């Protein structure tokens, strides 16, 4: 994990933040952050403030960074089962919820899915659609955690992003797809007095190296075993 100060310098934090209790965790954070210049900020959740860096561990490990004009940056970890696929994107207009429902249902008949779309004006409600109650609840929960206007979260049950992405991109209201993955996903959020927006995502782990000839063969064989490539 890293803490980031106001000039963007990264400060590595080496401890594991023991989870025996919250007092222990916060004491360790204070120890790690000691000496970082201009640490702690404002972020709308209870936690620790150190100058221009804010840390909270309420359900997630939040990191907040303050900037001039009330702008803060933070991260949100998507909550989902380890093998579940999620698509996170940006759209516009309240019609998004029903149009994305029709897009997924039409692309893969019988697909199970749950969708949540964050309205960005008017009532500013999270609009929820889908055909699986558990997936709808999961989408609703994560949309509220992200809290970014015009963002949407789509969880897929018995189908894969590769089956629906082209159709979703062609929905008239859809502007951007941030990720489509079964990996752990962290969403990077900017917040200002106006609202919240997605800056990008961290999708899974960093590379450990470059594939070898043996790795290439395994990749080629895998795609053919799945049926995506001929013979």
Query: Residue range 94-118: average pLDDT?
Result: 96
Tell me the C-alpha distance between 154 and 200, whole Å. Answer: 16
pLDDT band, very low/low/confident/very high, at 92 (cuts 50, 70, 90): very high
Sequence-distant (6+) residues with CB within 8 A of 185 are 77, 78, 86, 88, 179, 201, 202, 203, 204
Within the chain, all domains assigned CATH 3.40.1520.10 are found at 85-183
Alpha-helix residue ranges (DSSP H) falling in the chain: 22-33, 96-107, 133-146, 161-169, 213-226
Structure tokens belonging to residue 70: 């009330």
> What does the DSSP 8-state code read for residue 192?
-
CATH architecture of the region 85-183: 3-Layer(aba) Sandwich (3.40)
Q: Tens digits of per-residue pLDDT, 153-182?
A: 999 999 999 999 999 999 999 999 999 999
Q: Which residue has better confidence, 110 or 69? A: 110
Hey, is 58 helix, strand or coil? coil
Tell me the C-alpha distance between 126 and 55, whole Å. Answer: 26
Tell me the C-alpha distance between 148 and 80, whole Å. Answer: 18
| Residue 9 pLDDT > 70 | no
Q: Count of CB atoms within 10 A of residue 129's CB?
A: 22
Q: Which of 149, 152, 141 is nearest to 194 (CA)?
A: 149
Structure tokens belonging to residue 139: 């989408």
pLDDT band, very low/low/confident/very high, at 28 (cuts 50, 70, 90): low
pLDDT band, very low/low/confident/very high, at 73 (cuts 50, 70, 90): confident
As a dihedral over the C-alpha atoms of residue 95, residue 101, residue 103, residue 109, rounded to 10 degrees, the angle is -160
Helices (H) and strands (E) in the chain, counts: 5, 13
Taking CA atoms, 159 is separated from 53, 141, 156, 184, in Å, by 40, 21, 6, 18
Q: Which residue has better confidence, 8 or 80? A: 80
pTM over 0.85: no
Read off φ and ψ for residue 16, nearest 5 degrees.
Answer: -90, -5
Q: Which residue has better confidence, 60 or 156? A: 156
Describe the strand order of the beta sheet including 196-203 as a list of residue ranges: 48-50, 53-56, 62-67, 71-77, 185-191, 196-203
pLDDT at 190: 92
pLDDT band, very low/low/confident/very high, at 72 (cuts 50, 70, 90): confident
């Amino acid at each position: 994990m890293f803490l980031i100060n106001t000039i963007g310098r990264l400060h590595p934090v080496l401890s594991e933040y023991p989870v025996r209790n919250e007092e222990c965790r916060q004491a360790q954070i204070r120890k790690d952050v000691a000496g970082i210049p201009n640490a702690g900020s404002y972020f709308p959740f209870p936690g620790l403030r150190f100058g221009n860096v804010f840390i909270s561990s309420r359900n997630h490990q939040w990191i907040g960074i303050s900037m001039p004009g009330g702008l803060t940056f933070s991260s949100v970890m998507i909550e989902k089962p380890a093998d579940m696929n999620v698509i996170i994107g940006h759209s516009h207009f309240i019609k998004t919820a029903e149009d994305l429902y029709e897009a997924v249902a039409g692309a893969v008949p019988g697909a199970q899915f749950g969708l949540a779309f964050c309205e960005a004006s008017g009532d500013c409600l999270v609009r929820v659609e889908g055909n699986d109650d558990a997936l709808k609840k999961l989408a609703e929960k994560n949309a509220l955690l992200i809290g970014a206007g015009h963002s949407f979260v789509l969880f897929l049950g018995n189908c894969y992003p590769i089956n629906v992405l082209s159709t979703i991109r062609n929905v008239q209201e859809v502007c951007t797809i941030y990720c489509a993955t079964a990996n752990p996903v962290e969403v990077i959020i900017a917040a200002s007095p106006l609202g919240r927006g997605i800056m990008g995502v961290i999708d899974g782990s960093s590379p450990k190296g470059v594939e070898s000839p043996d790795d290439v063969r395994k990749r080629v064989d895998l795609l053919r075993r799945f049926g995506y490539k001929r013979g």
